[in-house]
Amino acid sequence: MQTWSSVAVPRVPGRPRPLRLYDTATGQLRPTAPGRVARMYVCGITPYDATHIGHAATYLAFDLVYRQWLDAGHEVHYVQNVTDIDDPLLERADRDDEDWVELGRREVDRFRADMAALRVLPPREFPGAVETVPEIVEVIAKLLANGAAYRVDDPEYPDIYFDRTFTGRFGYESNYDEATMTAVFPDRGGDPDRPGKRDPLDALLWRAARPGEPAWESELGTGRPGWHIECSAIAVNRLGLGFDVQGGGSDLAFPHHEFSAAHAEALLGEHPFARHYVHAGMLGLDGEKMSKSQGNLVFVARLREQGVDPAAIRLALFAGHYRDDRSWTDGLLADARARLNRWREAVALPSGPDAEATV
């Protein structure tokens, strides 16, 4: 897919310091140690609704990683996917009696406009799941061939699953124990009760075609890819194994990043998928979880329509620590707007900002 427009990155005076990031897998704050080309994969949107302030917070966190590496003299190979075929997209299209392709296209357009307005640097590659179905199929076929994947015994819907015991490392990325995995799996796209699975936590790789659902013909049969394998295939085919940062919000630590890593490691027989697993905290609204069901989503586009300067949104989201779960409030935005005005006034002074003044 096409990305969005980039912006000039100013040179920052002084010597760059090595970037240290908290890694979920090891539970440590460790320096990133990229080669000449730093490699980063950040999980992209599922385009069934507009970009909310939580998405923006996560992409801004990784925008800082990108800019810090640039400042340190690295070239950055940044890949971000678009999950343009998955259950939530189909459910929304169904609800609104809209074509799922149209819905996805419109929301990706809006996402691009929001990211450009927030001056988030675009990824070098921005592939959608639909355009990468052939490469995902190839990866699943290899997993079937090497015994990491299996078909359920169901002649009507012969879905393909991943055997989570295959690599012997399952759980290393999230560090979740069995009870926690079992508790969160159904809420995050898992299907523990699907008959025929070897283990309730095994993840779907290929969903055989169901009536009325979009499907692709392939050597695996007619169907569509599961979610985790999408990111796994897209990442390894563009960045290789052992890339520097796998990123996303903390809701992706399990099962999504656990399985993305396990799939790739099972495919290539090497470890690790990524050297750092970096997770941004969840943004809520006034202390409540932001969710569609609660109807309390704050959309970036809506704020922009209301005349809020995107630089103030950026500043408000950077007012908190990227890893903390935190709340979006009117006060947070008001403070950021005031701070932005103060900074702009200071920069515009003929004498420049007063070094003694407090912010």
Chain residues in the site for ligand 5CA (CB under 6 A): 43-46, 54-55, 57-58, 81, 83, 231, 248-249, 251-252, 280, 282-283, 290
| CA angle 212–213–215, rounded 5-degree value | 125
DSSP string, 8-52: PPPPPSSPPPPPEEEETTTTEEEE----SEEEEEE-----SS--B
Cα–Cα distance for residue pair 90/47, rounded to 1 Å: 10
Which one-letter DSSP state was computed for residue 260?
A: H
The minimum distance between CB 247 and ligand 5CA, in angstroms, equals: 7
Alpha-helical runs (H) found in 240-274: 256-268
Count Cβ neighbours within 10 Å for each residue of 241-276 and write b for 16 or more, e otherwise.
Answer: bebbbbbbbbbbbbbbbbbbbbbbbbbeeeebbbbb
Q: Give yes or no for residue 43 binding Zn ion (CB under 5 A).
A: yes
User: CB under 5 to 8 A by kind: which of ligand 5CA, Zn ion, none does 315 bind?
Assistant: none
Pick 248 or 310: Cβ nearer ligand 5CA: 248
Nearer to Zn ion, 245 or 303 (CB): 245
Residue closer to Zn ion by CB (options 122, 310) is 122
Report in angstroms how near the CB of residue 177 gets to ligand 5CA at its nearest.
22
- Least distance CB 260 / Zn ion (angstroms): 6
* Nearest in space to 254 (alpha carbons), one of 175, 199, 193: 175
- From the list Zn ion, ligand 5CA, none, partner contacted by residue 34 (C-beta under 5 to 8 A by kind): none
Residue 44 or 225: the one with the smaller Cβ distance to ligand 5CA is 44
Closest approach of ligand 5CA to the CB of residue 28, in Å: 21
Q: Measured over all CA atoms, what is the biggest interatomic distance in the chain, rounded to whole angstroms?
A: 77
Separation of alpha carbons 132 and 345, rounded Å: 48
Told to check if 117 binds Zn ion by CB under 5 A, we report no
Least Cα distance to 241 among 254, 232, 250 occurs for 232
Task: Please tell me the number of Cα atoms within 13 Å of 133 on its side-chain side.
Answer: 19
For Zn ion, which is the closer residue by CB, 4 or 273?
273
Count of all residues that appear for the chain in the document:
359
Closer CB to ligand 5CA, residue 30 or residue 292? 292
Residue 38 found at the interface with Zn ion (CB under 5 A):
no
Q: How far is the CB of 199 from Zn ion (least distance, A)?
A: 22
Strand-pairing partners, residue 150, are 161
Q: Which does 54 bind (CB under 5 to 8 A by kind): Zn ion, ligand 5CA, none?
A: ligand 5CA
| Alpha carbon separation from 321 to 32, 115, 284 (Å, rounded) | 19, 20, 14
| Helix boundaries (H) for 32-158 | 53-71, 87-95, 100-117, 133-145
Q: Considering the complex, what minimum distance in angstroms separates the CB of residue 279 from ligand 5CA?
A: 8
Assess 133 for contact with Zn ion (CB under 5 A).
no
Q: What is the DSSP pairing of strand 288-289 with strand 283-285?
A: antiparallel
List the single partner that 280 binds among Zn ion, ligand 5CA, none, CB under 5 to 8 Å by kind: ligand 5CA
Complex with Zn ion: residue 38 or 43, whichever CB lies closer: 43
Report if residue 231 touches Zn ion, rule: CB under 5 A: yes
Least distance from Zn ion to the Cβ atom of residue 190, Å: 15
Minimum Å distance from CB 184 to ligand 5CA? 13
**69 touches 58 (CB < 8 A):** no
Q: Give the one entry of Zn ion, ligand 5CA, none that residue 251 binds, where binding means its C-beta sits below a cut-off of 5 to 8 angstroms depending on kind.
A: ligand 5CA
The one of ligand 5CA, Zn ion, none whose footprint includes residue 39, by CB under 5 to 8 A per kind, is: none
User: Which CB sits closer to ligand 5CA, 150 or 247?
Assistant: 247
Picked from Zn ion, ligand 5CA, none, the partner binding residue 285 (CB below 5 to 8 A depending on kind) is: none
| Strands 283-285 and 326-328, bridge-based pairing | parallel
Contact 231, 216 (CB under 8 A): no
Q: Contact positions toward Zn ion, by CB under 5 A?
A: 43, 231
